[in-house]
Amino acid sequence: MTVVLVDAANVVGSRPDAWWRDRAGATGRLLTRLAALPGRTPAGPDGEPVPVTGVVVVVEGQAREVPDQDGVQLVRAAGSGDEALAATAAELAGGDDELLVVTADRGLRARLPGTARIAGPGWLLAALDRAGEEESGG
């Protein structure tokens, strides 16, 4: 069982789809897609199955005020998103589930607990694309 912890700003910023015009809107769209992940078992970044039991997303800046999304736990960073993500990862690493952190930020990756698995935004977006195809019957 795995909890996926997502660096929302990093994932949203990984695709040049004009997210910078509406950061909160882009984050909201990501949250809607992430809500479909719990209960699924996508292939992990190493190809091994990842049974997702929960999704925790750190939001910051203009995206901090996005509405709550069923199926997703939000951490609204009061200051630095990196600080909030590192602290949240430390808390989650002590739980019963494995932790998979999604970020491409190398500095942040170095601050994560040694037990955390790490994936980049490309892995997550591909997993979400596959989940969307499955839901639409494609």
CATH number at residue 73: 3.40.50
pLDDT of residue 20: 66
Band of residue 18 on the pLDDT scale cut at 50, 70, 90:
low
CA dihedral 39, 136, 65, 117 (to 10 degrees): 40
Judge whether 112 and 16 are in contact, CB under 8 Å. no
The answer as to whether 14 is a domain residue is yes
pLDDT of residue 80: 85
The answer as to whether 59 is a domain residue is yes
The answer as to whether 135 is a domain residue is no
Domain, as residue range, for 75: 6-130
Number of domains into which the chain is organized: 1
The answer as to whether 93 is a domain residue is yes
pLDDT of residue 62: 85
| Ramachandran assignment for 80, one of left (phi > 0), alpha (psi -120 to 50 degrees), beta (any other) | beta
pLDDT of residue 56: 98
The answer as to whether 85 is a domain residue is yes
pTM: 0.91
Q: What are 105's two structure tokens?
A: 């930020």
Mean pLDDT over 107-119 rounds to 90
The answer as to whether 136 is a domain residue is no
Helix (H, G, I), strand (E, B) or coil at 86: helix
Which residue pairs from 44-49 have beta carbons closer than 8 angstroms and sit at least 24 positions apart in sequence? Answer: 44/100, 44/117, 44/119, 44/123, 45/100, 45/117, 45/118, 45/119, 45/120, 45/123
